[in-house]
Amino acid sequence: MSIQIAQEGNVQRKEALQGVEQTASRSTARLGGYTAIAGTVTMLVGAALWGTSGTDLWAALDSGDMARYLVAIEAVKGQLVANLSVWILGVLILGVAGSMLAALCTQRRPLARIAQVCFQTAVPLVLVAYVAMLALVVQLGGDSSATAVSLANVVGWIGARADDLATALIIGIGPLFLSLAGHGEWVPTWLLRFGGLAGVVGVLSVAFLYLPGMAAYSFIILPVGMGWMIAAGVVLLRQTGSAA
């Protein structure tokens, strides 16, 4: 009798533990879904602020006309500061989302770990990039002297290239490995293929930066990568019953 009671107690403890693990996994999935969508929407808000400013650091670097860029940003300095501040918030949220999504991948932990490293590398890298851009806007905006132009070319190149690399990691390579790691658990086949596309486009977006006349095409990662993040968020919210 005592052995039977002990066995029943063990079964109950195992069931309770499984219930706790399922609840924790469900909470992680829900948080991952919300942060993936929220981070992407925040980045899109920042992109709208940048796009309507009428200024383009990447174009200034490509054309070599940094003096004109410095003059132009003086009139929209506040808007660009808001743009970069929103992007800083957005990338932090996406970093949380990447960690949550990687934690859901239990069957292929090495691939999940690679995805997590992509996010963990991209977040501090892009924060440095945005701070460099903020320094350029705040400290050099409106100054078209030779010294300012020379400094802006260096600081701007560091900021832009760090941003490009981090973008490829956080919405390109990261989603690729998350898709591979989570397939069969929470990633459906169509999202796996979407992640593969994001990974390929992420690599190409970096390669385009160093090919003559192709730099403009590096931005194709944005709709693809952000689309994957939103899709992944919706998938998780549907699986946890948080979306209709």
Confirm if 105 and 185 have CB atoms less than 8 A apart.
yes
Structure confidence at residue 24 (pLDDT) = 55
Q: Give 61-66 contacts, CB < 8 A, sequence gap 24+.
A: 61/153, 61/156, 61/157, 61/160, 62/215, 66/149, 66/152, 66/153, 66/156
- Distance between CA 181 and CA 178 in Å, rounded? 5
164-183 burial, b if ≥16 CB within 10 A, otherwise e?
bbbbbbbbbbbbbbbbbbbb
Instruction: Quote the mean pLDDT of the chain.
Output: 88
Number of neighbouring beta carbons within 10 Å of residue 25: 16
| pLDDT confidence band for 206 (50 / 70 / 90) | confident
Alpha helices in 141-187 (DSSP H): 146-168, 174-182
pLDDT in tens, 55-89: 999 989 988 899 999 999 999 999 999 999 999 99
* pLDDT class of 23 with cuts at 50, 70, 90: low
Checking if the pLDDT of 151 tops 50, the result is yes
Q: What is the pLDDT of residue 4?
A: 53
